[in-house]
Amino acid sequence: MNLYVSNLSYQMSDAELRAAFEIHGTVTSARVITDRDTGRSRGFGFVEMPVETEALSAINALNNQAINGRPVKVVEARPKEERPRRDFSGGGGGGGGGGRKWDRGDRGEREEYRK
């Protein structure tokens, strides 16, 4: 069972998160999520516990309990939502250019503008 843990101390490490949950059973993985630019904790993480009864025991024991001085919230993690893929290939904006010939001062070339 995958658990979502929020309100973590910003100094908490993966090992400390794992240790807090190992008291209640087997932990496959424990990860504090960090900001990709700064490397600092984002204040939440995920713990994977393969035995459901142990995971439920950890939820009941640790939810709203202080870990590293902060009351954490522990719930079963929801599956990651599928989001539309974002296109970072540029584009957008634009403007300018194009338009009608007379916008660019080329009035002499088109017959309807010759007088």
pLDDT in tens, 29-70: 999 999 999 989 999 999 999 999 999 999 999 999 999 899
Q: Which pLDDT belongs to residue 83?
A: 75
> 95 in a domain, yes or no?
no
Instruction: Return the closest-CA partner of residue 45 out of 28, 33, 37, 55.
Output: 33
**Rounded Cα distance, 22 and 45, in Å:** 15
For residue 9, what is the domain's CATH number?
3.30.70.330
Q: DSSP letter string over 24-78?
A: TS--SEEEEEE-TTT--EEEEEEEE-S-HHHHHHHHHHHTT-EETTEE-EEEEPP
pLDDT in tens, 69-82: 999 999 999 887 87
> 83 in a domain, yes or no?
no
> 64 in a domain, yes or no?
yes
